[in-house]
Every structure is written in C-alpha cells, then in structure tokens.
Amino acid sequence: MCLNSGYIKDGHEKYLTGWLRHNWRKSDGKEIANRELWEKIAALTEARKVTFHKIKVHSGDLDYDCVGALAGAAANKAIQRAFCASQDAG
C-alpha cells in the first residue's frame, strides 16, 4: 500500500478531527480506509506539534527518494517472508 504525502497531509489537517468525532467514519457514514494506519498517526501526533509537507513524486528530493527506496526494500522483504512462510506451511 502506498500512502502519498498529500493523502497524509490532507487526512491529518482536514479530516482527522471529524473522523475521530464520528468514530472513524466519513461524512457519508462509511468507515475510512486505512483506519489502523490513521489510528497510529493520530496516536503519534496527539501530544506533538506536527507539520506535514506535500512533496511531489519524482521531484528530486533526496529524502523522499531515500524513504521511497527504504519502503520498497521493506515491502520486498515482507513479501519474501510471506512467500517463504507459505512454502514452509505447504
């Protein structure tokens, strides 16, 4: 799953307060996507002053590129572990 910086920034700044007030539901009554991740973000930012910045994809931002590479590598490791576990079970 890929959560881009605009999604996180907008979710935190525009919607999080309402989601919390409405028990993790959108204005149409449907449950929000990625609730478990938003709960973690809410817990981590609750007692902190946090500012989110939207960074364009492929903008040449070195930090963004580094994080993207690390996330991709971690995702590949998780896929390999899951595949190996399924092979061991079968």
pLDDT in tens, 26-80: 989 999 999 999 999 999 999 999 888 887 777 787 887 888 888 888 888 988 8
**Euclidean distance between CA atoms 45 and 61, whole angstroms:** 24
Taking the complete model, does pTM exceed 0.75, yes or no? no
Specify the pLDDT at position 60. 81
Specify the pLDDT at position 1. 43
**What are the φ and ψ backbone dihedral angles of 42, each rounded to 5 degrees?**
-60, -45
Specify the pLDDT at position 59. 75
Specify the pLDDT at position 3. 55
Chain mean position to CA 60: 21
Q: CB–CB of 11/42 below 8 Å?
A: no
**Euclidean distance between CA atoms 90 and 86, whole angstroms:** 6
**Euclidean distance between CA atoms 34 and 24, whole angstroms:** 10
